Structure 1
């Protein structure tokens, strides 16, 4: 008798574990919050899939032997981990593809999905600052902490009047699929919701760097305020790593977050 296809581990994150199984992607949420996110993600994807210029997952969410899982057909392409081997001309082509995707997503009517806010409110940002004061800042140098407090103060003064649109919410390299130098798909919409479009650009910059994101932004007209917010959001990512690492007793994640402020 033929053997059953084996599941191959392809990724493990803070919220879920992903496997490839017989041409499909199987995701297992790590906690109840991740389960709720999967249900919300499936509903959002059903609404936006026909309106986007590249394939996105067609999620099937169900329970298998008591385990909550999601399944979708594997999308062509491999995760974009870096820009190695891409000359400037090829980078411009890829940047244009990413800009077209973000323009399509960010211009969708806000009521096209029943989206929860992907961006935090001022009270939540104040809560993050309080957590950082208690947990992250004691691990950083005094000069770095002074600069971070100033960044938080400047952002909090304006964060109740930010632009809102439908954003991906985790537009990092691992969720961008590329085939032969072209954008072939986008995955993991668990963070999709209403938020500041600058957040998606900040996620992209965190993985691929500012020079490449400038190629993407050449297709937009960001003002100084939008660029400042991108810098603020990007700054918070290693802080979140520190908080996660401390909470989950993950010293490698803590070290990576602290190291980001040592450069």
Structure 2
């Protein structure tokens, strides 16, 4: 059984128990190997189940982990928000020096990659936006180019990576973008893409600061820009259009 395709890895369910992942592009292989080193150390520190992969095959690269139960979150209530806030606090409190020793990208590497991404957005995405929206878009890119930090973050937290069943949250998956960076990146969807009761519960459990809340909005506004460039990379005009619609919509959010 194949799961719906992720941007970086192809995933297959084997024997109803194991998830096997294969990189879609050569550069993704390094991320998968970093997960293999990181997750056995990180998982016991977290209050929700997460994947703990191991290498099944080197050539071609295949990693395997036991399936984390649940489905992508749809009932974003206050209890789920509280549990996610507690989870994020535990993740962000993990010692960064030990995380580095387990192979994740450093804060400097992550900041360099982020700056390059912002430059690509400016070059390729801004010209595709309605003329009236371009000044706000350029201002957003200027305000976010230097966003960085030294906190261990998930890096791609959204409803498709937060799992739940009828009893509440069951786990968090897809740690391929984990790095040392700005904690607010993990708060973006949780605070600005969810119902108020959920967002408030996350903020209370995590003890969100005013600065984190402000930066989380900027990360939230950047989200659809990645969809645009992914659509460009895969020659998918529908994804490009969807991403551009999202960029325009979120530019007006405060």
User: Would you say same fold, with TM above 0.5?
Assistant: yes
Which band: TM-score by shorter chain?
A: 0.7 to 0.9
Q: Which residue of 2 aligns with 1:27?
A: 21
Which among 91, 97, 106 is matched to residue 83 of structure 2? 97
C-alpha distance in 2 between matches for 1:181 and 1:235: 31
Moved more, 38-47 or 244-253: 244-253
Give TM-score, length-normalised by structure 2. Answer: 0.87
2:2 partner SS:
strand
Q: 5 Å matches for 1:1-263?
A: 8-22=1-15, 23-63=17-57, 66-80=59-73, 82-83=74-75, 91-114=77-100, 115-117=104-106, 120-121=110-111, 124-156=113-145, 159=147, 162-205=148-191, 208=194, 212-263=198-249
Q: Are the structure 2 counterparts of residues 191 and 206 from structure 1 closer, same or farther at C-alpha, using a change threshold of 3 Å?
A: farther
Q: Indicate the structure (1 or 2) with the bigger Cα radius of gyration.
A: 1
Give TM-score, length-normalised by structure 1. Answer: 0.84
Shift of 1:209: 5.4
Contact 1:172–1:206 at 8 Å: present in 2 too?
Answer: no
- Unaligned ranges ≥5, structure 2: 250-254
Q: Are the structure 2 counterparts of residues 138 and 211 from structure 1 closer, same or farther at C-alpha, using a change threshold of 3 Å?
A: farther
1:57 partner SS:
coil
Q: Which residue of 1 aligns with 2:252?
A: none
C-alpha distance in 2 between matches for 1:210 and 1:164: 28
C-alpha distance in 2 between matches for 1:172 and 1:117: 23
Contact 2:149–2:181 at 8 Å: present in 1 too?
Answer: yes
Q: Which residue of 2 aligns with 1:3?
A: none
Shift of 1:133: 2.8
How far does the alpha carbon of each residue in 1:140-194 deviate from its partner, in whole angstroms, 9 at most, with x for none? 11222111211222334x63xx542111111111111112242211111111121
**Where has structure 1 moved over 6 Å in runs of 4 or more?**
none
Structure in which a larger fraction of residues adopt helix: 2
Shift of 1:62: 2.8
- Unaligned ranges ≥5, structure 1: 1-7
C-alpha distance in 2 between matches for 1:30 and 1:210: 36
Q: Are the structure 2 counterparts of residues 209 and 132 from structure 1 closer, same or farther at C-alpha, using a change threshold of 3 Å?
A: farther
C-alpha distance in 2 between matches for 1:200 and 1:229: 10
Shift of 1:206: 6.2
Shift of 1:207: 5.0
Q: Are the structure 2 counterparts of residues 130 and 110 from structure 1 closer, same or farther at C-alpha, using a change threshold of 3 Å?
A: closer
